[in-house]
Homo-oligomer: A and B are copies of this chain.
Amino acid sequence: VPLYQLQMIGTAVFAVTGVLAVNRRGLDVFGAGVLGIVTALGGGTLRDVVLGVPVFWLHDVNYLWMAIAAAAVAFFADRRVRSTYTLLLYLDGLGAALFGVQATEKVLGLQHGATVAVAMGILTSIGGGLVRDVLAGRPTLLMSRDIYATPILIGCTGFVLARLFTSHHTWLVVAVVALMFSIRASAIHWHVSMPGWLTSDQDPVP
């Protein structure tokens, strides 16, 4: 199934970007490795724990090894990998989109409703990065105005709605992932952040 290979690629990309995000802080290979693995597997782990289903990497250890290998490469080949950072940023957006749609579909298949499915799609996409940032003492993406999670929300919501009207499943997944990735890629390319009316004031109210 190509989906499986895509998920492996997503896992590797998340592990690499996870290591690069923290690797300028004098931490050692163990800390960097754990943070890379957490970035790659953390979101899906949180999803499965909340759903009460077996955690996905317990019974397919390829995910764990892929995350370990990718984190090690990112640590030891830091400068070389970092020179491809812009490419990785786009791949990260693609990985987040894939993880989100795949999780939404998995949760719908477990007979949960659309709201729970979308919530779990978002948790799967951003959960690993949130845990990494908390463990690394960095501000989480929730505190920024980056357009990172919004395309996931839009795409997962669109996916559950469109499923009501179409049975062309593969094409729907492709279209939704393309939509999510386009929004994210546009935000990266044109440095767009959330508009002011969707952002709280930073100043105290007089």
Residues of A within 8 A of B (CB): 22-32, 34-35, 45, 49-52, 54-55, 57-58, 61, 64-65, 75, 78-79, 82, 112-113, 115-116, 119, 122, 130, 134-137, 139-145, 149-150, 153, 193-194, 198-205
Whether A201 touches B26, Cβ cut-off 8 Å, given contacts A49-B50, A58-B112, A116-B58, is yes
Contacts of A137 in B (CB 8 A): 139-140, 143
Q: A31 and B112: CB pair below 8 A?
A: no
CB pairs A–B below 8 angstroms (29 shown): A22-B143, A24-B201, A25-B200, A26-B199, A27-B142, A27-B200, A28-B198, A29-B194, A30-B150, A30-B198, A34-B149, A45-B50, A49-B50, A50-B55, A50-B58, A51-B55, A51-B58, A52-B55, A61-B113, A61-B116, A64-B115, A78-B201, A78-B205, A82-B205, A130-B135, A134-B134, A134-B135, A135-B142, A136-B142
Q: B136 and A26: CB pair below 8 A?
A: no
| A122 and chain B: residue at smallest CB distance | B34
Q: B200 and A26: CB pair below 8 A?
A: yes
| A118 and chain B: residue at smallest CB distance | B64
Extra inter-chain contacts (9) besides given A30-B198, A75-B200, CB under 8 Å: A26-B201, A27-B144, A28-B145, A28-B194, A28-B199, A28-B200, A50-B58, A58-B116, A78-B205
Contacts of A193 in B (CB 8 A): 28
Q: Please tell me which one of the listed residues B31, B54, B136, B153 contacts residue A52 in the complex, with CB atoms under 8 A apart.
A: B54
Contacts of A145 in B (CB 8 A): 26-28
Contacts of A141 in B (CB 8 A): 31
Contacts of A130 in B (CB 8 A): 135
How many angstroms from the CA of A64 to the CA of B122 in the assembled complex?
14
Q: In angstroms, how far is the closest chain B Cβ from the Cβ of A11?
A: 15
Q: A202 and B144: CB pair below 8 A?
A: no
Q: In angstroms, how far is the closest chain B Cβ from the Cβ of A106?
A: 14
